[in-house]
């Protein structure tokens, strides 16, 4: 296993998920229900499935597009979304 890749992926996803809609939804669902473990396992399963879809899509796209271009396009998308978020807030 590539531990450097594991650590960087874990850190990126962990930070990206902090305070997002998914975490807030899990918080509100667990606050309103007695079965916290059901909410935990359903949320974890949903995150695993959505991540599996993303990884499969990434593997498929990487067959046709160079990884450097994927990173560049992803970077531009993040920058555009960041600017849109800042402009919308101002």
- Tell me, what's the pLDDT at 58? 87
pLDDT per residue as tens digits for the range 3-45? 999 999 899 888 888 878 888 888 899 998 889 999 999 999 9
Residues of the chain with pLDDT > 90: what percent?
56
CB atoms near residue 6 (< 10 Å): 10
For the record, the structure tokens of 43 come out as 């949320």
**Does pLDDT of 56 surpass 70?**
yes
For 26, how many CA atoms within 13 A lie in the half-sphere containing its CB? 18
Would you say residue 89 has pLDDT above 80? no
């Amino acid at each position: 296993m590539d531990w450097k890749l594991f650590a960087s992926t874990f850190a990126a996803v962990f930070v990206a998920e902090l305070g997002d809609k998914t975490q807030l939804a899990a918080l509100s669902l667990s606050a309103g229900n007695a079965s916290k473990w059901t909410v935990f396992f359903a949320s974890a399963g949903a995150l695993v499935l959505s991540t599996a879809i993303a990884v499969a899509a990434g593997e498929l796209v990487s067959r046709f597009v160079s990884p450097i271009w994927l990173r560049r396009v992803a970077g531009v998308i993040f920058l555009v979304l960041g600017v849109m978020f800042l402009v919308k807030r101002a």
